[in-house]
Amino acid sequence: MVSVTSHRPAMARSLTSIPDDIVYIIIDELSTDPRTLKQCSLVSRAFLPHSHKHIFSAIQLDHPKQCRGLYRVLTNNPGLACYIRTLIVIANVQVEFRGRNWVTIENTLPGVLPMLHNLQSLTIRNLFERPLLWDVLPIELRSALLDLTSTTLSSITLDRLGNWPIMHFSQFIHLKRLRFLDISLDAGNLLLTQKMQALLGGPRRKAAEGQLESLEIERSTAYGGPLVKALIHSGSSLGISKLRHLTLHGACGFAETIMSASSQALEVIVWKALGEEKDGPFQPGPTSLGVMSNLRSLVIQTKFARGQAYDPLPWLSQALANTTITERCPLEDLTILIDFYGVWRFSITQRDTHDLYEYSVWRELDDALTRPGVFNRLSHVKVGLRIGGGVETFKLLAAKKMPRLMAAGILQMVYSDNFVGVTSPVFNRTFVS
């Protein structure tokens, strides 16, 4: 219970009690309105702690002035640090920094990080076109980042960075979510990582202290391979055997390693940007989806590759066909998004139509998914075709090539100019955008 003194003349002044839960409800309703929250924090001490909880819960730093301001606030009032749960650092190069990235020259950032003892989520995003390399960071900042092993830190996102120490992430035993977006690794750092892994020993033989639940690796193939090896390594304190959500980008060579290591826990797999000839032959995942005993949702996004070596859909249809009735795969939602942009020229020809209708994967999917007793929980199959014009040409595709799925009432065909907001009905979340 908190007390609020009414602003009346001295003779009429009285003490009014407001229940804590009422105060919390009022402030929570204003959580997305920082300006009003600041005003509330000045009105009464009753509003102050809960207002601060929302005002300081998420901090974004994209300029040295903001960083210095935060440092001054926390230095003068250390108690405010307990409210900061999310920190987003936006690194960028501007003229005022003389062509340098501000995080490489600002000396207050290393002082801010150790104060955030309740930090739950850290994002470092570089907006400059070239990656922000670990080696160019001040030694004080590198030390502060390496010391971030707080028991509260559960999520790390790195975006457009380079040569960040891979082995360090395997020691964050409290991490639950890792996101690596456009992370590069040069040959020298890769060799160093491989030597460190060799010194630490072979694959894991006992359970790790901590377990990731969500892993996203996008446009970071060179970094992802060594990272996965580090996470399944005997010297790693962080494992992936309890991984529930996996997002991959492009034809990477470590997909099967991750899926095998987390086969008993994986619930959602999103695999995007496949079917590119430049990536070379597709390196598949497990030969059977049945080995993933908890898999509920699978999203595959690919260019139409006509059954070429870099086409992922033949693997998918075969993995579905290899799933047996005894495995009882719990798959509920399957989404296949096929992009025809850059595949067909100018307009759809008769040959293009023939290629799509005679694509053997349609029949294989229809046969594999409708076998009695195998995919009993399957309630939604979405096939999205990004084809632009000429939709009428393919209106009969489902009825002709996937009649059993149509008859079961679980097939949804989507013809679109873009794949935006593709949602899994299982988890009611957006996977591809």
Using one digit for the tens of pLDDT, what is the confidence trace for 246-291?
999 988 888 999 999 999 999 999 999 998 888 788 888 888 998 9
DSSP for 14-59, please give it. -EEEE-HHHHHHHHHHTTT-HHHHHHHHHH-TTTHHHHHHHHSSEE
For 249, the token pair is 């980008």
Mean predicted confidence (pLDDT) in 118-144: 93
Note whether 376 and 329 are within 8 A (CB): no
Nearest Cα to 245, choosing from 271, 224, 225, 223?
A: 271
Split at pLDDT 50, 70, 90, the class of 223 is confident
Q: Which amino acid is at 203?
A: P
Tell me what pLDDT residue 181 has: 94
Q: Please give the Cα distance from 284 to 286 (Å, whole number).
A: 7
User: What number of helices (H) and strands (E) belong to the chain?
Assistant: 15, 20
Tell me how many degrees the CA angle 294-298-299 measures, rounded to the nearest 5: 160
Tell me what pLDDT residue 258 has: 93
Nearest Cα to 205, choosing from 239, 159, 155, 175?
A: 239
Q: What letter does residue 173 receive in the DSSP assignment?
A: T
Tell me what pLDDT residue 370 has: 95
Tell me what pLDDT residue 272 has: 92
Q: Please give the Cα distance from 166 to 168 (Å, whole number).
A: 5
Asked whether residue 10 carries a pLDDT value surpassing 50, the answer given is no
Mean predicted confidence (pLDDT) in 173-199: 74
Which residues are paired to 132 by β-bridges? 161
Asked whether residue 398 carries a pLDDT value surpassing 50, the answer given is yes
Using one digit for the tens of pLDDT, what is the confidence trace for 43-58?
555 555 555 565 677 8
Residue extents of the structural domains in the chain: 15-55
For 301, the token pair is 């996004």
Q: Please give the Cα distance from 295 to 290 (Å, whole number).
A: 9
Note whether 142 and 180 are within 8 A (CB): no
